[in-house]
Structure 1
Amino acid sequence: MIKKRYLVVALAAMVLGGGYAIPEPRVIPVSGATEADWNKDTFWYEPWGSSGVHKGIDIFARKGADVIAPTNVLVVYRGQFGKGGKVIVALGPKWRLHYFAHLDQIEEGAGRIVPAGTVLGAVGDSGNAKGKQAHLHYSIVSLLPRLWAMDNSTQGYKKAFFINPITYLTQ
C-alpha cells in the first residue's frame, strides 16, 4: 500500500514537473505588434466594467491582423464566450492558460499542439468589444496558485492565478 502511494506521488511530481520542462519561447501574440501597441497600465486596472478589474492587456491592431501563439501551446478550447466573443484558450508551459479574446476569426482547432508563432486567429471586436477599436484581449492564468503574488488590491487574491502579460512578454 505504501509503495503505491509513493508511486502516485512520484507520478504526479513527474507530470507537474514536466510542465516546467517544456521550452517556453515568448513572442507578442499579435503579428507585428510592439510594446507601443498596448497600455502598460491596463493590467489590473479598475474600474473595468462588470469584471471589476482588467485581468489582462489589450493589444491594439488592425482588424484581421494575425493572432499568434506566444509560446508553445496546446489549444484546449476555441469558441464563444459572452464578454470575450470569439476566443481561444491554450495550455502553455508551466501549466499556464493563455486566453485570447475578441477575435474576428479562429484558425486553430482544439487538441492541436502548436509552436510559438503559429497563427491562431485574427484580431477583431467580438463580444463586449463590438463597436470598439479592434484589439486582442490577452490574459495568462496559472493553474498552480502563486500565493506570493496576492495583495490587498481589489480582487488581489486572484493575482495568485492571473499573471501580468506585460511582465511575461518583456522578461
Structure 2
Amino acid sequence: MLGAGERTSAAQGAGKEKQSQSDDYAKRRKLYEQISLRTGLEWPYIAAIDQYERTLSQAHPKTRPLRKSAVTGVYIAESAWVGELNPSPEDTNPVSIRFFHGIGQDGSGDRRADRDKDEDLLYSVTAQALKKGSALDDFGIGLWEYYHNTRAVQRVLQFAKLYKHYNRLDLSSHAFPLPLGSNYSFRSTWGYSRGWGGKRIHEGTDIFARHGVPVRSTCYGIIEIKGWNVYGGWRIGIRDLNNLYHYYAHLSGFDKQLKTGDIVRPGQTLGWVGSSGYGRPGTQGKFPPHLHYGIYRDRGLVEWAFDPYPLLRRWEREEYQAHKAKARGSASR
C-alpha cells in the first residue's frame, strides 16, 4: 500500500497532469475559434478536422511527425505544402506556393504560409475542405477530395457531431463496461484460438458475468453498428474521438431507445450480458454468458485490433478510485 506521502505525491502528479490537459484544451479551443472567424466554419467542424488529423499522426508517428510544441494535430508533407515542382522547399510566400499548386496558406494574417505555425497548418486543411462550399454535403465532398477516403469523411462528421452536442473538447473520460458492483471476472484472452467459424484468433477480452448484467459504454462516442452478427450475436459498435472502434458482443439484448448514429457517454447502458451468437439470428446458449469486448484502431485505410485488457484494467482502477474519492468527499462534509 502507498504511504501518506506517496499518496499525496501521486495526487499532486495527477493534479498537474489534469491542469496541463486543461491548458491544452484551452489552447486548442482558442485556435479553432480563430480559424472559425477567418473561414466562417463552425468551430466543432474545425476541431473535428484537427482531431482526425491528430489520430492519423498518432497512428503513423514516423511518417507524420509533429512538433513537440504543436497545438494542432495537422501534418502536411513539405512537397504538398509548397508544391511538388517548387524549387524552394522552404517557400513561405503564399503567391509562389499557389503558383506551384501547393496547399500552404496564411492562416495567421502575417502574409506568410509557415508550415511550422499552427494557424497556417489548420487553416490550410480547413480551406481544402471548404473548396466546394460550407453546406454539409459540399463540406463532405471537399473532405473526400482532400483525403480520397470515405472513412475520413465519416470520421470528421462523427467527431463534429460529438463536439457540437457537448460544446466542449474534453471528452476523454472512460468507464468500465460492467457496473463495478456486479459480480464479474476477466483475464487477458488476446490471441487465443477460436473453436467456431474456422481458424481465427480471439481479438478481445471476455468478461464473464451473470446473464442480464448491464453492459455500459466505455467512452463518449457514436453508435456505428447495432444488430446481429453470426459470430458476435447481438452486438453494438461505437466510434470514439480517438478513432477507436469499441465492440461489444454476445449481448442478450439492447436498450431499445438506441439506434445507429446516436451519441453515447461513458457509463450509459447499451444492453445486457448474454450468450448470443455462433449461428443464425436469435441463437443463444452455445457458451456461458459473457461480454466480448474488443477495440480496433483506424489507421486511415485499414483497421487493426489490439489487446484491450490493459485499458480495461486501467478504467476499472480509475473508476474505483473516483468512487472512493467521492465517498471520502461525502464523509468529510
Q: What interval of TM-score do these two structures reach, taking the shorter chain for normalisation?
A: 0.7 to 0.9
Aligned-partner residue type, residue 79 of structure 1? G
1:32 is displaced (CA, Å) by: 2.6
Question: Among residues 38, 44, 48, which one is paired with 2:191 in the alignment?
Answer: 44
Shift of 1:4: 6.0
Q: Residue 222 of structure 2 aligns with which residue?
A: 74
Judged with a 3 Å threshold, the aligned counterparts in structure 2 of structure 1 residues 140 and 4 are, in CA distance, closer, same or farther, namely same
TM-score, length of structure 2 as denominator length: 0.41
Gaps of 5+ in 1: 146-157
Cα deviations by residue, 1:76-116 (Å, 9 ceiling, x for unpaired): 11100001110101101210111111000111221111110
Quick check: which one's strand share is greater? 1
State the distance in 1 between where 2:297 and 2:223 align: 16
Aligned equivalents of 1:33 and 1:88: distance in 2? 23
Percent identity over the alignment?
A: 28
Query: How many residues were matched structurally?
Result: 153
Paired residue for 2:237, among 62, 76, 89?
89
Of the two, which has the highest radius of gyration? 2
Instruction: Work out whether residues 187 and 309 of structure 2, in 8 Å CA contact, stay in contact via their aligned partners in 1.
Output: no
Deviations 1:50-91 (A, max 9, x none): 252100011111101100001111111110000111010110
- Kept in 2: contact 1:88–1:99 (CA 8 A): yes
Structure showing the higher helix proportion among its residues: 2
The answer to whether 1:8 aligns with 2:163 is: no
Matches of 1:102 and 1:66 in 2, distance apart?
13
SS at match of 1:53: coil
The question of whether the paired residues in 2 share the 8 Å contact of 1:30 and 1:68 is answered with yes
Q: CA deviation at 1:24?
A: 2.1
Q: Secondary structure at the match of 1:116?
A: coil
Deviates more, 1:111-120 or 1:123-132: 123-132
Structure 1 segment 1-171 matched on structure 2, within 5 A: 2=101, 6=124, 7-8=127-128, 15=156, 23-32=171-180, 37-40=185-188, 42-45=189-192, 47-49=193-195, 50-107=198-255, 108-128=258-278, 130-144=285-299, 161-171=304-314
Aligned to 2:12: none
Distance 2:268 2:292 in 1: 18
Residue 143 of structure 1 deviates from its aligned partner by 0.9
Contact 1:85 1:127 in 2 (8 A): yes
Q: Are residues 51 and 124 of structure 1, via their aligned partners in 2, closer, same or farther at CA, if it must alter by over 3 Å? A: farther
Which stretches in structure 2 are left out of the alignment for 5+ residues?
1-97, 105-123, 131-142, 161-168, 279-283, 315-333
The letter for the 1-side match of 2:294 is: S
Moved more, 108-117 or 122-131: 122-131
SS at 1:127's partner residue? coil
Measured on the aligned residues, the alpha-carbon RMSD in Å equals: 3.2
Helix, strand or coil at the partner of 2:249: strand
Q: Which amino acid aligns with 1:72?
A: Y
With normalisation by structure 1, the TM-score equals: 0.75
- After TM superposition, the structure 1 stretch with the greater mean CA deviation from structure 2, 110-119 or 129-138, is 129-138
Q: Tell me by how many angstroms 1:163 deviates.
A: 2.1
Q: Is the 8 A contact 1:38 1:60 kept in 2?
A: yes
CA distance in 1: counterparts of 2:239 and 2:308, whole angstroms: 15
